């Protein structure tokens, strides 16, 4: 009896501590500022640099593409401001006569809506199931992967790639019907959640896995996809960062590794690959959104991914790494404004895949060089996949933005209402269907 009471107490304490560490965004506002003059732009640049040194990160944050300002004027930018810093922030902004309005009056309201789990979802989760009407913790995703592998062993294989920095297992799922003659089929690799806060990424990818597996033999298109192609899926790569977005800071992008030279935790894993590491669009300033880590592959999760891809490099013909939220199909090279020789083929696949995606609900996508569309950023998965693993079609897929096509990606773009998970899954499935068809046509039914 005493044991039970003690256990209960420990559980309650654990919950209390978890509650306490979760950052509350109560009263946090998101402003839209319009910068019209060079003086205002310079002022905001200085303010942004100051924020890091004064350790106000998390209280006042610039929310623009990769948290950097461009040189363009006029320019609109978002700033997130805590209730504590609001007065001082307004004083400074007004001092520069910067036009501003409140775009999100209370960020916590948005987050509460996002994390709402309906009673029916609750029931499914408590029974060990998975849903696509809510965002889920890693333990739920782990159980889902296990269930797929157990219940559909004829077409699903689950393997463990190794552990994250904090010791969580990273899983690779293989979905494919083995050929009767034992020959190797061409494969497509998909990974998601390298950026912790981009929750729609693993939600979409798990939705697509579920469709591939549960509709095999029932739906002609799905059956063909699983017969012709092996689909390798790593649904959550930055798993520590992902859990941290659930338990502590919803808007964290980075990993959770302690840094050797800084008290700031984590690095941007999408700047941590060794191809042209740190060349452009990355920094050595720990704590920033584009901190590339102290050296290439400092993040163990990245290394696990590369080992898994390299082991299957002759088989994998396309690599899709899922992010959000600018609705783009991004092609190499991303480290500089240089185009690979086979760029036309990559463009063709991108246009066909996103046309099929758009046909479902009209969600528009841009297709093109990621440097051209977003600016150079070295050390990302796509460049590594093409340069170091020799995967011809190596693509970053940026999923839905809640404000739609063309809207800038700011931190609130990662808060996509859970009602959009299934639509995102369905439309993105059309894109991967086309990818499968192109890979099958180009590389043939077998590779040996
Ligand atoms: O900057 C990134 O890492 C990606 N965008 S995000 O807003 N999800 O952070 C785009 C990466 C594109 N690929 C390369 N630059 N190589
Ligand atoms: Zn991302």
**Which residue ranges have their beta carbon within 6 Å of ligand 1?**
66, 195, 198, 270, 323, 330, 334, 370, 374, 377, 380, 382-383, 396, 398, 409
Taking the centre of ligand 2 as the mean of its atom positions, its distance from the CA of residue 132, in whole angstroms, is: 21
Nearest atom in ligand 1 to the alpha carbon of residue 271 is: 3
pLDDT the model gives residue 212: 98
CA atoms of 59 and 81, how far apart (whole Å): 6
Residues 6+ positions from 147 with CB-CB distance below 8 Å: 128, 129, 130
Dihedral sign for Cα 397, 400, 405, 409, please. Answer: negative
Sheet with 230-234, side-by-side order of all strands: 156-163, 169-175, 230-234, 187-192, 316-324, 393-399, 328-331, 366-369
- pLDDT tens figures, 33-72: 999 999 999 999 898 888 766 767 788 988 877 667 888 8
**pLDDT for position 5:** 55
Using a CB cutoff of 8 Å and minimum separation of 24, what contacts does 55-60 make?
56/85, 57/287, 58/23, 58/82, 58/249, 59/84, 59/85, 60/85, 60/89
Condensed to tens digits (0 to 9), the pLDDT of residues 280-310 reads 999 999 988 999 999 999 999 999 999 999 9
- Tell me the three state secondary structure of residue 335: coil
User: Among this protein's residues, is 198 annotated catalytic?
Assistant: no
Encode pLDDT of 66-77 as tens digits.
667 888 899 899
Q: Hey, which of 299, 350, 377, 395 would you mutate to test ligand 1's pocket, going by the most ligand atoms within 8 Å of its Cβ?
A: 377
Q: Which of 24, 173, 34 is nearest to 107 (CA)?
A: 24
Alpha-carbon distance 142 to 391, whole Å? 28
Q: What angle do CA 45, 48, 52 make, to 5 degrees?
A: 145
Buried b (16+ CB within 10 A) or exposed e, 348-374: ebbebbbebbbeeeebebbbbbbbebb
Q: For residues 428 and 359, give the distance between their C-alpha atoms in angstroms, rounded to a whole number.
A: 11
Q: Which helix (H) or strand (E) holds 424?
A: helix 421-443
Chain centroid, CA 59 distance in Å? 23
User: Can you give the pLDDT at residue 280?
Assistant: 95
Residue 17's pLDDT is what? 46
Dist. CA 227 → ligand 2 center (Å): 31
* Model pLDDT, residue 377: 97
φ/ψ region of 391 (left if φ > 0, alpha if ψ in -120 to 50, else beta) reads beta
- The residues of the chain scoring below 50 in pLDDT are 1-2, 4, 6-20
Nearest ligand 1 atom to the CA of 330 is 12
Percent of the residues in the chain that have a pLDDT greater than 70, as a whole number = 94
**Which mutation among 370, 397, 407, 409 tests ligand 1's pocket best, with the greatest number of atoms within 8 A of CB?**
370
**DSSP one-letter string for 92-130:** HHHHTT-EEEEEES-HHHHHHHHH---HHHHHHHHTT--
In the numeric block, the tokens 């805590």 are attached to 82
> Whose CA is closest to 25, among 249, 291, 224?
249
The pTM of this model reads 0.93
Predicted confidence (pLDDT) per residue in 186-195, tens digit: 999 999 999 9
Q: Which two tokens stand for residue 326?
A: 């600018």
User: Distance between CA atoms of 367 and 351, rounded to whole angstroms?
Assistant: 6
Backbone angles phi, psi at 397, to 5 degrees: -105, 120
- Cα first-last separation, the chain: 64
Would you say 133 and 139 are in contact if contact means Cβ atoms under 8 Å apart? Answer: no
d(CA 134, CA 122): 10
Which residue of the set 398, 427, 430, 437 is catalytic? Answer: 398
Residues 6 or more apart from 307 whose CB is under 8 A from it? 161, 162
Give the model's pLDDT for residue 407.
85
How much is the pLDDT for 56? Answer: 75
Secondary structure of residue 249 in the 3-state scheme = coil
Between CA 93 and CA 19 the distance in angstroms is: 34
Contacts of 441 (CB under 8 A, 6+ apart): none
- What distances in angstroms separate CA 69 from CA 48, 63, 73, 338, one per listed residue? 9, 9, 10, 23
Per-residue pLDDT, 50:
81
Radius of gyration of the chain from Cα atoms?
22
Cα 182 to averaged position of ligand 2 atoms, centre (Å): 37
Q: Are 187 and 172 in contact (CB under 8 A)?
A: no
């Amino acid at each position: 009896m005493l044991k039970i009471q003690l256990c209960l107490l420990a559980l309650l304490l654990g919950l209390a501590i978890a509650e306490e560490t979760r950052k509350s965004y109560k009263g946090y506002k998101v402003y839209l500022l319009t910068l019209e003059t060079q003086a205002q732009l310079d002022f905001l640049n200085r303010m942004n640099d100051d924020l890091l040194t004064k350790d106000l990160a998390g209280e006042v944050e610039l929310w623009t593409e990769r948290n950097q300002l461009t040189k363009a004027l006029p320019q609109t930018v978002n700033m997130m401001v805590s209730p504590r810093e609001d007065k001082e922030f307004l004083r400074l902004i007004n001092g520069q006569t910067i036009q501003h309005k409140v775009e999100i009056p209370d960020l916590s309201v948005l987050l509460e809506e996002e994390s709402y789990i309906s009673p029916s979802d609750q029931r499914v989760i408590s029974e060990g199931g998975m849903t696509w009407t809510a965002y889920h913790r890693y333990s739920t995703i782990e159980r889902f992967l296990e269930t797929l592998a157990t219940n559909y062993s004829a077409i699903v294989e689950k393997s463990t790639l190794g552990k994250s920095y904090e010791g969580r297992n990273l899983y690779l799922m293989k979905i494919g019907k083995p050929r009767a003659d034992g020959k190797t089929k061409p494969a497509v690799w998909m990974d998601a959640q390298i950026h912790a806060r981009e929750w729609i990424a693993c939600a979409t990818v798990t939705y697509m896995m579920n469709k591939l597996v549960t509709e095999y033999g029932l739906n002609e298109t799905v059956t063909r996809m699983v017969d012709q192609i092996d689909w390798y899926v790593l649904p959550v790569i930055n798993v520590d960062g992902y859990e941290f977005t659930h338990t502590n800071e919803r808007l964290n992008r980075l990993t959770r590794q302690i840094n050797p030279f800084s008290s700031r935790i984590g690095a941007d894993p999408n700047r941590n690959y060794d191809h042209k590491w740190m060349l452009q669009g990355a920094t050595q300033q720990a704590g920033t959104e584009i901190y590339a880590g102290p050296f290439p592959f400092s993040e163990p999760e990245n290394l696990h991914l590369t080992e898994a891809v390299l082991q299957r490099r002759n088989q994998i013909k396309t690599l899709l790494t899922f992010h959000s939220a600018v609705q783009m199909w991004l092609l190499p090279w991303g480290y500089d404004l240089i185009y690979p020789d086979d760029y036309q083929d990559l463009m063709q696949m991108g246009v066909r895949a996103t046309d099929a995606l758009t046909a479902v609900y009209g969600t528009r996508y841009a297709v093109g060089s990621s440097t051209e569309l977003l600016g150079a950023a070295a050390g990302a998965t796509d460049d590594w996949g093409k340069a170091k693993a020799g995967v011809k079609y190596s693509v970053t897929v940026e999923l839905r933005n809640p404000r739609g096509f063309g809207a800038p990606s700011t931190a609130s773009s990662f808060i996509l209402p859970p009602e959009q998970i299934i639509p995102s899954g369905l439309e993105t499935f059309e894109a991967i269907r086309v990818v499968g068809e192109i890979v099958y046509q180009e590389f043939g039914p077998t590779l040996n």
